[in-house]
Amino acid sequence: MYPETAYEITTLTPQQPTGHGPMLPHEIPPGVQMVTLPGGVRTLAYTAQQAPPAPPVPVAQPIPAWAKTTALLTPTVGGGVAAAGIGLSYAAPGLIAMSQALWAAVALIAAAAVGVPLLLRLGRGAAGTGRGTTHITQNITASGMFGKANGTINHH
């Protein structure tokens, strides 16, 4: 089918004229390299492309203790916040009623602070039958910073 052809590697030696000088490194095409044959002769030859080295296999690093602690606390804190939110949603009507009761208590205290002295003043004026008002004068004297104090009370 196909005729048998014998191939022979021939190299350029200094005795064979080529018509031009040796190839410069930038003139060598990709996939061609300078090789040394077993007889010591150097020549250009096609070489098989070497596969790039496999990337190094990553070594598993231990997980830091702070990361483990954080990972364990995250659901706990999230669950606590969720429980607090649910509790506040159930307590909201009671809290609103309590705040309204506190405002009512404040209003009652304010009304008592104004109303009781007014009622007492009105009651004294109607109950007095010709008696005048009583004036009390008090004189206190003391000598020195830690001296004994003496005083007199005068009713008018």
Residue range 21-80, pLDDT digits in tens: 677 777 777 777 778 888 888 888 877 767 778 888 888 889 899 999 999 999 999 999
Tell me the two tokens of residue 124. Answer: 């004294």
Q: How many residues does the chain have?
A: 156
Print burial letters for 78-113: b (CB count within 10 Å at least 16), e (below 16).
Answer: eeeeeeeeeeeeeeeeeeeeeeeeeeeeeeeeeeee
What is the model's pTM?
0.29
Residue type, 41: V
90-119: pLDDT as tens digits: 999 998 999 999 999 999 999 999 998 888
d(CA 131, CA 10): 151
Q: What are phi and psi of 32, to 5 degrees?
A: -115, 135
